A and B are shown apart, each in its own frame.
Chain A
Amino acid sequence: MKVTLHIWRQSRPGTAAAAGDGRMVRYQLDQVSPDMSFLEMLDVLNEQLLQRGEDPVAFDHDCREGICGACGLVIDGVPHGPERGTTTCQLHLRSFRDGAEIWIEPFRAAAFPVLKDLVVDRSAFDRVVAAGAYISVATGQPQDANCIPVGKDEADKAFDAATCIGCGACVAACKNASAMLFVGAKVSHFVHLPQGRVERTARARNLVAAMDREGFGNCTNQYECEAVCPKDIPVRVIAELNREFVRAKVLEQPASGKRIGGHG
Chain B
Amino acid sequence: MKLDARIPPGPLAEKWDQRRFDLKLVNPANKRKYRVLVVGSGLAGAAAAASLAELGYQVDCFCFQDSPRRAHSIAAQGGINAAKNYRNDGDSVFRLFYDTIKGGDFRAREANVYRLAQLSGNIIDQCVAQGVPFAREYGGYLDNRSFGGAQVSRTFYARGQTGQQLLLGAYAALSRMIGRQAVRMWPRTEMLDLVVVDGHAKGIVSRDLVSGAIQTHAADAVVLATGGYGNAFYLSTNAKGCNVTATWRAHKRGAGFANPCYTQIHPTCIPQSGEHQSKLTLMSESLRNDGRVWVPEQPRDRRPPQQIPDGERDYFLERKYPSFGNLAPRDIASRAAKQVCDEGRGIGETGLGVYLDFRDAIARLGREAIAERYGNLFHMYQKITAEDPYTMPMRIFPAVHYTMGGLWVDYDLMATIPGLFVLGEANFSDHGANRLGASALMQGLADGYFVIPYTIGGYLAGQKPGAVKDDHQEFARVRQEVVARTGRLLEVQGSTSVDSFHKELGKILWQQCGMARNEQGLAAALQAIPALRERFWQDVKVPGSGESLNQSLERAGRVADFLEFAETMVLDAQQRRESCGGHFREEWQDDGEARRDDQNFCHVAVWEHSGAGQLPRRHIEPLQFENVHLAVRSYK
- List residues of chain A with CB under 8 Å of any chain B CB: 11-13, 32-33, 35-37, 39-40, 43-44, 47, 50-51, 53-56, 58, 60-70, 83, 85-86, 90, 92, 94, 115-116, 119, 121-123, 125-126, 129-146, 148-152, 155, 158-159, 162-163, 165-166, 189-190, 193, 195-196, 259, 261, 264
* List of 6 A-B pairs having minimum Cβ-Cβ separation, nearest first: A149-B140, A134-B172, A130-B179, A142-B129, A145-B128, A139-B51
Report B566 CB to chain A, min CB distance, Å.
22
- Say yes or no: A145-B65 contact (C-beta < 8 A), given A40-B278, A261-B176: no
How far is B450's CA from A73's CA once the two chains are assembled, in angstroms?
39
Q: Which of A56, A92, A126, A136 interacts with B176 by CB under 8 Å? A: A136
User: Which A-chain residue is minimally distant from B77 (CB atoms)?
Assistant: A67
Residue on B nearest A139 in the bound complex, by CB = B51
The digit string for B107-144, where 1 denotes a CB below 8 A from any CB of A, is 00000000000000110111111110111111111100
Q: Is B575 an interface residue (CB 8 A)?
A: no
| Cβ-neighbour of A129 out of B122, B171, B279 (below 8 A) | B171
Known A13-B210, A55-B543; judge A196-B131 contact (CB<8 A): yes
**B187 partner residues in chain A, CB cutoff 8 A:** 123, 126
Contact indicator A12/B179 (Cβ below 8 Å): no
User: Contact partner of A130 among B178, B383, B499, CB < 8 A?
Assistant: B178
Interface size class of B (residues with CB under 8 A): 35 or more
CB distance from A45 to the nearest CB of B (A): 12
Chain B positions 251 through 279: 1 when the CB is less than 8 Å from some CB of chain A, otherwise 0: 00000000000000000000001101111
Question: What are 12 A-B interface contacts by the 8 Å CB criterion?
Answer: A35-B274, A37-B278, A62-B241, A64-B240, A126-B67, A137-B173, A142-B129, A143-B129, A144-B121, A152-B140, A159-B165, A196-B131
Residues of B within 8 A of A53 (CB): 543
B551 within 8 A of A: yes
User: Contact at B75–A44, with CB atoms within 8 Å?
Assistant: no
Residue pair B66, A152 in contact (C-beta under 8 Å) = no
Across the interface, name the chain A residue whose C-beta is closest to B275. Answer: A33
Binding-face segment, B156-164, B195-203, B616-624: B156-164
Most buried by B among A11, A65, A159: A65
Kindly identify which residue among B125, B133, B497 contacts A155, using a CB–CB cutoff of 8 Å: B133
User: Which of B130, B500, B543 touches A137 (beta carbons < 8 Å)?
Assistant: B130
B281 to nearest A CB, angstroms?
Answer: 5
Q: How many whole Å from A197's CB to the nearest CB in chain B? A: 10
Min distance, Cβ A134 to any Cβ of chain B, angstroms: 4
Nearest CB of A to B420, in Å: 22
B449 within 8 A of A: yes
Q: Are B164 and A165 in contact (CB under 8 A)?
A: yes
When the two chains form their complex, are residues B67 and A123 in contact, meaning their CB atoms are under 8 A apart?
yes
* Residue interface bits B193-222, CB-to-A below 8 A is 1, else 0: 000000000000000001000000000000
User: B612 contacts the other chain (Cβ, under 8 Å)?
Assistant: no
Q: Is B511 an interface residue (CB 8 A)?
A: no
Check B549 for interface membership: any CB of A closer than 8 A: yes
CB contact between B276 and one of A33, A135, A141 (< 8 Å): that residue: A33
Chain B residues in 8 Å Cβ range of A85: 379
- Chain A residues within an 8 Å CB radius of B74: 63, 67-68
Closest A residue to B76 using CB positions: A67
Known: A47-B497, A136-B176. 11 other contacts (CB 8 A): A35-B276, A43-B499, A64-B281, A86-B383, A92-B384, A116-B549, A121-B66, A139-B173, A139-B449, A139-B453, A149-B139
- Tell me the complex Cα distance, A44–B449, Å: 42
Are B128 and A67 touching (Cβ within 8 A)? no
| Structural contact, B54 and A122, CB atoms closer than 8 A | no
Complex Cα–Cα for A61 and B72 (A): 12
A137 with B133: in contact, given A13-B210, A92-B384, A152-B140 (CB under 8 Å)? no
- B133–A159 touching, CB < 8 Å: yes
Is B629 in contact with chain A by the CB < 8 A criterion? no
CB of A66 within 8 A of CB of B178, answer no
Contact B126 A139 (CB under 8 A): yes
- Complex CA gap A132/B180 in Å reads 10
Does B544 belong to the interface (CB within 8 Å)? Answer: yes
Q: Is the CB of B543 within 8 A of A135?
A: no
Give the nearest-CB partner of B279 in chain A: A64
Given contacts A68-B70, A159-B133, A189-B133, contact A116 B548 (CB under 8 A): yes
Task: List residues of chain A with CB within 8 A of the CB of B495.
Answer: 51
Q: Are A152 and B138 in contact (CB under 8 A)?
A: yes
User: Counting CB contacts under 8 A, is B363 at the interface?
Assistant: no
Q: Is the CB of A43 within 8 A of B541?
A: no
Measured between beta carbons, the chain A residues less than 8 angstroms from B171 are 129
Mark interface residues in B146-168 (1 if CB within 8 Å of A CB, else 0): 00000000000011010111001
Interface residues of B in 545-601 (CB under 8 A from A): 548-549, 551-552
Give the distance to chain A from B634, nearest Cβ to Cβ, in Å. 33
Q: Is the CB of A134 within 8 A of B277?
A: no
